[in-house]
């Protein structure tokens, strides 16, 4: 069992290949102590305190903690990043409060470093970081693009390698950081397995989900240096939750299959693909867990709301129960031969009922439209700047933790 579900990157991940001096793990093993200090302090020489913060993360569950106010946040100025989708751009869409941008994740018992964009770009020099999953992973991808872009003085050196046209036709989006010869990419794959069409009893084609086939773009990212996967929210939609005449394996379309069983089958297909196709010497693999939603008074399509929320939950007794699907995910990861680092952000996001776009998902909505009780609100995705920036800080912290473990 080489996987981890509690925050540390497994020791085996990204082992140095002596024949490949440009391997990702070589860059992760250089300049460890000095970079830790710069990352945590925001510049200058490393201090004993910042070195201790990295050491303290060994054995620390960085996914359990609390949100604390920090006036030095956000990591990039609201309204400064043109790469943010309109649906995530709450500031541009007229959200009047800003306190949700000023919260930092603080784990219990240890400190995670502030994400230093310049340092992370140096680690990505000549490499690919790929996000694969649903629109919540797109949320995280856009966050990282903005954080890294903010560290570059000449913004014209950051450009779309593939843009909206490719995303519409192929579900692929990529930004390239020219000075570092690196790319940060997103592949849309809400289930990680292949959406399909199968003939029904009348000979007409109907949509199915092939639980036994990995999604079609997988060959394009299997050799990436860092891959961050996710799936989750689409498994709560009507077709998937009912599971009637929708799930398929081989030529068999299940008349009915429980969503938790289908989820397990799909993740097992993904796990087999990773174990067979991803080289753990070359690549680091992450899986980001389920991000909490906060619909009140209904679901996403039935009047659920969160527009009045401006403060996070502060009492953990009000948090939701742990999603059963994430227990399935943890079980699958533990059974893999490829090391997978689990970004368990479920609990930390559950506190943040204040961080969703809600009625501020479109700029063109007038105030009366926003307040209409039956108007669709987005209480699943997150405003940017906002919560996904902290997910990327956790990703960065795990990379630094791995660096420390190698030099210990």
**Residue 202 CB: number of other CB atoms within 10 A?**
6
Coil, strand or helix at 150: helix
Nearest to 130 by CA among 119, 118, 117, 145: 145
CA–CA distance, 362 with 370 (Å, rounded to integer): 9
The residue among 116, 60, 130 whose CA lies nearest residue 405 is 60
CA–CA separation, 183 and 177 (whole Å): 6
Out of 135, 183, 189, 218, which one is annotated catalytic?
A: 135
Q: Do the beta carbons of residue 395 and residue 228 sit within 8 Å?
A: yes
How far apart CA 333 and CA 336 sit, in angstroms, is 5
- The catalytically annotated residue of 245, 350, 354, 378 is 378
Is 378 considered catalytic here? yes
Is 237 designated active site? no
Report DSSP state, residue 204.
-
* Under 8 Å between Cβ of 402 and 13: yes
- Please pick, among 225, 381, 389, 390, the residue that the annotation labels catalytic: 381
Backbone angles phi, psi at 402, to 5 degrees: -60, -40
Within 10 A of 374 (CB to CB), how many other CB atoms are there? 8
Buried-exposed string 357-372: b where 16+ CB fall within 10 A, e elsewhere? bbbbbbeebeeeebee
Residue 317: CB partners within 8 Å, gap ≥ 6? none
Q: How many Å from the N-terminal Cα to the C-terminal Cα in the chain?
A: 22
CA distance readout (Å), 93 to 141, 209, 230, 303, 319:
20, 35, 27, 20, 29
Annotated active-site residue 135? The verdict is yes
Residues designated as active site: 135, 378, 381
């Amino acid at each position: 069992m080489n996987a981890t579900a509690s925050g540390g990157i497994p020791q085996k991940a990204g082992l140095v290949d002596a024949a490949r001096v440009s391997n990702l793990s070589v860059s992760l093993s250089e300049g460890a102590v000095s970079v830790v200090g710069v990352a945590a302090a925001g510049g200058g020489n490393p201090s004993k305190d910042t070195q201790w913060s990295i050491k303290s993360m060994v054995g620390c569950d960085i996914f359990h903690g609390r949100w604390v106010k920090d006036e030095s946040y956000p990591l990039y100025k609201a309204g400064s990043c043109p790469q943010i989708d309109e649906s995530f751009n709450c500031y541009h869409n007229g959200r009047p409060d800003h306190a949700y941008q000023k919260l930092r994740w603080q784990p219990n018992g240890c400190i995670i470093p502030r994400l230093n964009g310049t340092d992370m770009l140096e680690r990505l020099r000549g490499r690919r970081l790929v996000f694969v999953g649903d629109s919540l992973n797109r949320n995280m991808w856009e966050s990282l693009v903005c954080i890294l872009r903010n560290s570059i003085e000449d913004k014209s050196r950051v450009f779309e390698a593939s843009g909206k046209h490719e995303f519409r036709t192929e579900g692929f989006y990529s930004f390239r950081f020219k000075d570092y010869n690196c790319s940060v990419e997103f592949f849309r794959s809400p289930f990680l397995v292949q959406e399909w069409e199968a003939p029904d009893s009348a000979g007409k084609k109907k949509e199915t989900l092939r639980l036994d086939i990995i999604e079609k773009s997988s060959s394009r990212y299997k050799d990436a240096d860092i891959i961050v996967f996710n799936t989750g929210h689409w498994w709560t939609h009507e077709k998937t939750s009912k599971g009637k005449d929708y799930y398929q394996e081989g030529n068999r379309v299940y008349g009915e299959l429980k969503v938790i069983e289908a989820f397990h089958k799909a993740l097992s297909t993904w796990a087999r693909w990773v174990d067979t196709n991803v080289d753990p010497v070359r690549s680091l693999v992450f899986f980001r867990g389920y991000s909490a939603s906060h619909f009140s008074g209904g679901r996403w399509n039935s009047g659920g709301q969160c527009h009045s929320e401006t403060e996070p939950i502060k009492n953990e007794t009000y948090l939701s129960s742990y999603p059963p699907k994430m227990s399935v995910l943890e079980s699958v990861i533990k059974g893999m031969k490829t090391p997978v680092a689990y970004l368990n952000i479920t609990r930390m996001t559950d506190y943040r009922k204040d961080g969703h776009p809600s009625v501020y998902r479109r700029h063109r909505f007038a105030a009366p439209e926003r307040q209409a009780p039956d108007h669709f609100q987005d209480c699943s995705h997150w405003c940017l700047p906002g919560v996904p920036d902290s997910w990327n800080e956790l990703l960065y912290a795990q990379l630094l933790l791995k660096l420390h473990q190698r030099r210990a």
